[in-house]
Structure 1
């Protein structure tokens, strides 16, 4: 990949995750400012996660069949921008739902397509993916850390106008890819387990895999899907109400932004360390530790909310709750799906099941708990959901570790 291509691909990640850094922490705050309660906030985030379930597989299939996939990327980004722009001046719940549904469908659709474009462009230099993707983490960090302070000074209505420039940047970055042609499909070859710290195991070799069996029915897959769904369920209060909970506990916009930034910084640092941890301890032990840390994290957020120090400590747990857990899931996926064509389909299954279904259910759980007991009970509910997932992980230890720690 030439330096010019590196900049083209990095720019898209910069714009996309900059917009996400505004949306995820602050959409709930904006909805409340329009005069709505917890159920509407939960419904908005539920529609957002619902878009993750429906849009990516359909959009990826259509764009993959097109001789000009770059045109699909530009169209998706432009339609996402128009959907979000419809929020300007909107106050009724129904209008917000319609605009968010439109935005969620197209914004969630384009990233899986672009990820495939990036990996195809890198070809055998996929180890350089992190050098491109890190620009997304940088923009998310800057936006999440600063927009709380900006909204305190400019007012809640500025949220939409502060987010639109990042969406416009994604359109501009997508335009640079409008003439990209379909890349040759990658060879169907076994995934290299060492790329994610997986040791070779005869039980996970292609020859040992059942053929003709649906992916979700393979041994070990359903337990992994259930564990990841419950982990995502536990994250529901965090993604939906974390900013509102902190503000209710007396933290201003600057403090909220700093706390989000602490979590992202710890997440990035853990992604650098995760391969060594997985190589030493294996996916099962790492995921078990992550879920235990996450239970404690949500309880701290629930009961010690007024303390900035305790909230900062809880945010360091994002290194385990998100980064290390995600890395553990990727190692487990490499163990369960060594064939590359299976891995592509399995990633879609995992994304839709955990991020999609788990996200929708998590938003619903969070909104009900918030309405009946505020932030405290919402995060207690998140801790209980994670604890159930921890129990499932312990109960399936034998079958899990047969491949994970071989």
Structure 2
């Protein structure tokens, strides 16, 4: 059994790794690719903005479709294959409309892949005892590897290599998922009993909790949108900024390595409360970090502000959402994060123009509010988790 669990963990780890490798190339470097393809700044903003809106809308719809058909693994395969097809449109090189459709289509069909992969990994952890956090850390490792590779490939001569690798990563994601066995919680046609209980999506209590879970990730809006610009304005070298970003992801990986043991002592709401307290400190102190040592210390808190919040959120959903609808639950979480992140970026942009420190102070205030609400809701969340036994 141990060997079987180890083999399954390795394949799920590979699923996260190849998916995040492609995402780690796409997220920071696709604007560069579009610029080399002749897109203006306005075109890039429009295409990526439209893709973001479409991605946020598509995630819950496509994950729900996968849950309804009970074919979670095949859905990941099909969505990944379609993502590859849309990236392949860049081989045609036919201007704004074709390439814009390629970007938007890729973003739409890659949107449900991570929520469905999380749902599968959680089923694997539930059914075999595999460690979700240790599997998920390979996604973070793949993202870092892609960031490093992209830095060498983001030139006019090699940008096609980056496009090829993004498409290949999507194709490999589909290939890896087909190597995975069925999980008993992955839908009715994959062995799930029909008497598993109802999804909580119609319950009033579920939606405030979902918004709160997304809020903890959305407090990163100021940093994701303006952290690099803030450091550049402070005279920090680009190489040092790259190191600072890497420190945050490495800290996240370190937490994922030991999170399974920590979870034996602390339940998911505690993870979120700790994440909120860390976010108050991180964003409140961010403008005061004026030495490399203090900046690294701030970045180490990423293990908690992102890592602990992520683990707490998916663990709560894994308890309150039946396995049959786990993909939908994770898709709704992704939408909650995306919508709140978009709002946060818009507000932080306006504040940044007024005073570069203000967005980070706002994130600290939002983190404090979220932490207080999480503390208030913890008894109810624990009750809902206890009343929905693992299934």
What range describes the TM-score normalised by the shorter chain of this pair?
Answer: 0.7 to 0.9
User: 2:332, 2:181 → 1: CA distance?
Assistant: 24
For residues 232-271 of structure 1, what are the structure 2 equivalents within 5 Å? Answer: 232-271=217-256
Of 294, 299, 306, 1:322 maps to 306
Of 293, 307, 312, 2:291 maps to 307
In structure 1, the gaps of 5 or more residues are 192-205
Of 100, 104, 123, 2:107 maps to 104
User: 1:105, 1:20 → 2: CA distance?
Assistant: 13
Per the alignment, residue 169 of structure 2 pairs with: 170
Give the TM-score normalised by structure 2: 0.74
Per the alignment, residue 61 of structure 1 pairs with: 65
User: 2:227, 2:46 → 1: CA distance?
Assistant: 12
- In structure 2, relative to structure 1, the CA distance for the partners of 1:394 and 1:170 (3 Å cut) is same
2:112 aligns to what SS in structure 1?
A: helix
Per the alignment, residue 373 of structure 2 pairs with: 392
User: 1:214, 1:16 → 2: CA distance?
Assistant: 29
CA RMSD of aligned residues (A): 4.6
Give the TM-score normalised by structure 1: 0.71
**Preserved CA contact (<8 Å) 2:280 2:364:** yes
2:355 aligns to what SS in structure 1?
A: helix
User: 2:94, 2:8 → 1: CA distance?
Assistant: 38
For residues 4-23 of structure 1, what are the structure 2 equivalents within 5 Å? Answer: 11-23=14-26
**Preserved CA contact (<8 Å) 1:32 1:41:** no
- In structure 2, relative to structure 1, the CA distance for the partners of 1:181 and 1:222 (3 Å cut) is closer
**Preserved CA contact (<8 Å) 2:5 2:128:** no
**Preserved CA contact (<8 Å) 1:236 1:365:** no
For residues 64-75 of structure 1, what are the structure 2 equivalents within 5 Å? Answer: 64=69, 72-75=78-81
- In structure 2, relative to structure 1, the CA distance for the partners of 1:115 and 1:280 (3 Å cut) is closer
How far is 1:293 from its partner? 0.9
Per the alignment, residue 367 of structure 1 pairs with: 349
- In structure 2, relative to structure 1, the CA distance for the partners of 1:277 and 1:405 (3 Å cut) is farther
How far is 1:314 from its partner? 1.1
**CA deviation digits over 1:304-329, x for unaligned, max 9?**
3x532222111111111111122222
User: 1:214, 1:243 → 2: CA distance?
Assistant: 39
User: 1:60, 1:402 → 2: CA distance?
Assistant: 26
Per the alignment, residue 349 of structure 1 pairs with: 332
In structure 2, the gaps of 5 or more residues are 183-188
**Preserved CA contact (<8 Å) 1:266 1:318:** yes
- In structure 2, relative to structure 1, the CA distance for the partners of 1:404 and 1:168 (3 Å cut) is closer
Of 201, 204, 217, 2:203 maps to 217
2:348 aligns to what SS in structure 1?
A: helix
1:250 aligns to what SS in structure 2?
A: coil
1:295 aligns to what SS in structure 2?
A: helix
- In structure 2, relative to structure 1, the CA distance for the partners of 1:74 and 1:390 (3 Å cut) is closer
User: 1:232, 1:225 → 2: CA distance?
Assistant: 12
Per the alignment, residue 186 of structure 2 pairs with: none
User: 2:177, 2:316 → 1: CA distance?
Assistant: 36
Of 189, 192, 199, 1:187 maps to 192
1:127 aligns to what SS in structure 2?
A: coil
